[in-house]
Chains A and B, each alone.
Chain A
Amino acid sequence: MRQLLFLSGKGGTGKTSLAAAFAALTDEKVLADCDVDAANLHLLLDPTVLAEGEYSGSKEAVRDPARCTACGRCREVCRFHAIDEAFGIDPVMCEGCGACVSACPADAIELVPRVSGRWFTAGTRHGPLAGAELLPGEEVSGKLVMRVKEAMGDLATANGIDTALVDGSPGIGCPVIASISGVDDAILVTEPTRSGLHDLERILGVVRHFGIRAHLVINKADLSPELSEQIERFAADEELPVLGQIPYDRAVPAALIEGRSAVECEENPAGEAMRAIYERFARTTARQTPADRDREAPSADVKKGMDT
């Protein structure tokens, strides 16, 4: 399956708005929202839930005070500062590693599974969608992202579809790295600010670290033509192809309030720019035969740590 992932490093640059535009313009595809901390793609898609379930991806240590002899071994071995002076275990800090369980001579601590989120699959007006929501205060976003991608794969198989559009999360850490697994192309969405450029450099580093082809989009480009130009120069130096620029346009939040992407509304500059970007991306990747793709950029194989 061909997977296209939207990333940005910095939050709020317009990943989801562009992903929703691609969803409206691409023919046969499945969709996945891997920003499980702040899942927003479904807000633009009128989803009807097909299946859902709880996700329990981690454990937490629970102490039996009746057995505890207050020897303090658990507190000595815990590297996550989860055990207080009275040997109470703070579930927020607990990593679920079980070092305390192994260290306890009184057999007073056990690891129990914790429900950390719920995953779902849904039908939408732009095709099947897989997504998830992390419960407030829960921690395994990387593992939950892997669960979403598994559900996405199942949707693709069931529907005989071999293209996937994946909305990623901000940052460069565990949920991002989890979302990269199996991806062919990443569209990096940035904005013309010094923060946008700084964060772009780091996310580009991550994407290249995992051997994925990267493409750039500069959103709200007219808010600082000078920084947009600086970002274009950075892209040229890095041999990072620029798919286009999108102007700042109030039509984007206005479309959002209607639950739509800007390309689904009456003609507006941002929507037109997104359409041009989509067409350019389609042309760029259509030139490659499957054999080219395999030779140039094997899909990212991320057997790396993403389950913090």
Chain B
Amino acid sequence: MRVAVASGKGGTGKTTIAVNLALALSTEARVQLLDCDVEEPNAHIFLDPQIESTRSVDKLLPRIDEARCTRCGACVEACEFHALARFGETMLVYDALCHGCGRCGLVCPADAISEVPHQLGVIETGTARGFPFAHGRLNVGEAMATPIIHALKDEILDARWTILDAPPGTGCPTIGTLHDVDAALLVTEPTPFGLHDLRAAVSVARTLELPIGVVINRDGIGDGAVDAFCRSEGLPVLLRIPFDRAIAAAYAHGATVIETMPTWRGRFLELAERLEEVAR
């Protein structure tokens, strides 16, 4: 079963849920954790994985052979991302605008375009607490996170549980993570921001036709509007974590909830059980 732990709003506790869920399940079944927040990956802080291999994720940038190029402009016209331009006899490639789709090479009648790889980031795979772990890291200054997420998802194994820690938001990196999973576990907090962004996350999960479970983190800091929303939308609240300075302090130092407070292990196992019922 592939579970994406997501939320519209950042900082609601996705990584806490993903890491503790994986850890609780790891003694019961074959588990794998993928940290798909490639812009700001944090799961490794809690799991200290042994990284065993690293591979590059590249996009292919066009390079124009000025000698062969007839300046016909077919590539400029074909590029949907305005990454190519012609000024008189000079051809320009704006590398940062290029999506690496290869259309310019397809349309060039003079066979003047070749491609060179440009690194967007890396995928690191290894082992954490005895189970398979992988994450992606977008290089600083690069904009395209989604290709790294797709490459990371090639690491999905035939495990009983694959937990995917999604990036915040509802944009392309989040959708790339949620695409083709079996269930979405949406983490929120009981504040107007939490509610507003939960609505957006629910819309995304429903667009992708995913079964949904909700976790309310920092329960008690706000009001009952998130609960009321979940009731009216028929969304099951599968776990509540109260705001607790001990949990906040453990998180601050990179400790897991389960290792700090072992009684929570049972609650995370129950969360997994209830999630399976929701996904059935």
State the A residues within 8 Å of B (CB).
8-13, 16, 35-40, 43, 59, 77, 79-81, 92-93, 95-99, 102-103, 111, 133-134, 136-142, 169-178, 191-195, 198-199, 202-203, 205-206, 209-210, 223-224, 227, 250, 253, 256-257, 259, 303-308
Extra contacts besides A136-B170, A171-B145, A194-B252 (6): CB < 8 Å: A11-B40, A38-B10, A102-B103, A195-B254, A206-B141, A303-B96
Q: Tell me the chain B residues, 214-272 only, with Cβ under 8 Å from chain A.
A: 221-223, 245, 248-249, 251-254
Residues of chain B contacted by A16 (CB below 8 angstroms): 193
Contact B101 A172 (CB under 8 A): no
Residues of chain A contacted by B15 (CB below 8 angstroms): 195
Contact of A96 with B80 at beta-carbon distance under 8 Å, contacts A10-B11, A171-B167, A224-B252 already known: yes
List the A residue with the shortest CB-CB distance to B97: A305
User: Chain A's nearest CB lies how many Å from the CB of B170?
Assistant: 5
Contact B39 A171 (CB under 8 A): yes
Give bound CA distance, A133 to B107, whole Å.
36
List the A residue with the shortest CB-CB distance to B171: A141
Contact B140 A206 (CB under 8 A): yes
Contact B175 A137 (CB under 8 A): yes
List the B residue with the shortest CB-CB distance to A44: B192
Contact A136 B207 (CB under 8 A): yes
Nearest first, the 7 closest Cβ-Cβ pairs linking A and B are A11-B10, A12-B11, A37-B169, A136-B203, A97-B101, A305-B96, A171-B39
Residues of chain A contacted by B204 (CB below 8 angstroms): 136-137
List the A residue with the shortest CB-CB distance to B138: A173
Residues of chain B contacted by A81 (CB below 8 angstroms): 150
Give bound CA distance, A140 to B142, whole Å.
16
List the A residue with the shortest CB-CB distance to B225: A257
User: Chain B's nearest CB lies how many Å from the CB of A227?
Assistant: 5
Q: When the two chains form the complex, which single residue of B96, B102, B150, B191 contacts A304, counting CB atoms closer than 8 Å?
A: B96
Count of chain B residues with a beta carbon within 8 Å of a chain A beta carbon: 66
Give bound CA distance, A176 to B39, whole Å.
10
Contact B100 A172 (CB under 8 A): no
Question: Which of A8, A96, A136, A199 has the most chain B CB within a 10 Å cutoff?
Answer: A136
Contact A256 B45 (CB under 8 A): no
Residues of chain A contacted by B101 (CB below 8 angstroms): 79-80, 95, 97-99
User: Chain A's nearest CB lies how many Å from the CB of B20?
Assistant: 14
Contact A102 B167 (CB under 8 A): no
Contact A195 B42 (CB under 8 A): yes
Residues of chain B contacted by A43 (CB below 8 angstroms): 192-193, 196
- Chain B interface helix/strand/loop/mixed: loop
Give bound CA distance, A93 to B175, whole Å.
9
List the A residue with the shortest CB-CB distance to B100: A79
Q: When the two chains form the complex, which single residue of A8, A40, A92, A134 contacts B193, counting CB atoms closer than 8 Å?
A: A40
Give bound CA distance, A9 to B251, whole Å.
17
List the B residue with the shortest CB-CB distance to A173: B145
Contact A174 B143 (CB under 8 A): yes
Q: Tell me the chain B residues, 168-207 only, with Cβ under 8 Å from chain A.
A: 168-175, 179, 191-193, 196-197, 200, 203-204, 206-207
Residues of chain A contacted by B173 (CB below 8 angstroms): 171, 173
Contact A11 B168 (CB under 8 A): yes
Residues of chain A contacted by B146 (CB below 8 angstroms): 308
Residues of chain B contacted by A139 (CB below 8 angstroms): 171-172, 175
20 contacts between A and B (CB under 8 A): A10-B40, A38-B170, A43-B196, A99-B106, A136-B204, A139-B172, A139-B175, A170-B39, A170-B40, A171-B40, A193-B254, A195-B15, A195-B42, A202-B39, A202-B140, A205-B140, A206-B141, A256-B191, A305-B143, A307-B81
User: Chain A's nearest CB lies how many Å from the CB of B76?
Assistant: 13
User: Chain A's nearest CB lies how many Å from the CB of B81?
Assistant: 6
Contact A223 B171 (CB under 8 A): no
Residues of chain A contacted by B45 (CB below 8 angstroms): 194-195, 198
Contact B102 A77 (CB under 8 A): yes
Contact B97 A307 (CB under 8 A): yes
Contact A38 B200 (CB under 8 A): yes
Q: When the two chains form the complex, which single residue of A92, A95, A133, A304 contacts B143, counting CB atoms closer than 8 Å?
A: A304
Give bound CA distance, A77 to B12, whole Å.
40
List the B residue with the shortest CB-CB distance to A14: B11
Contact B167 A99 (CB under 8 A): no
B98 at interface by CB-CB < 8 Å:
yes
B8 at interface by CB-CB < 8 Å:
yes
B9 at interface by CB-CB < 8 Å:
yes
Contact A209 B141 (CB under 8 A): yes
B152 at interface by CB-CB < 8 Å:
no
Give bound CA distance, A88 to B149, whole Å.
22
Contact B179 A92 (CB under 8 A): yes
B99 at interface by CB-CB < 8 Å:
yes
Q: Tell me the chain B residues, 91-147 only, with Cβ under 8 Å from chain A.
A: 94-103, 106-107, 138, 140-146
Contact A141 B169 (CB under 8 A): yes
Contact B192 A38 (CB under 8 A): no
B64 at interface by CB-CB < 8 Å:
no
Contact of A194 with B191 at beta-carbon distance under 8 Å, contacts A92-B208, A136-B203 already known: no
Residues of chain B contacted by A8 (CB below 8 angstroms): 10
Residues of chain A contacted by B197 (CB below 8 angstroms): 38, 40
Residues of chain B contacted by A307 (CB below 8 angstroms): 81, 97
User: Chain B's nearest CB lies how many Å from the CB of A230?
Assistant: 10
Residues of chain B contacted by A191 (CB below 8 angstroms): 11
Residues of chain B contacted by A194 (CB below 8 angstroms): 45, 252-254
Q: When the two chains form the complex, which single residue of B8, B168, B196, B248 contacts A171, counting CB atoms closer than 8 Å?
A: B168
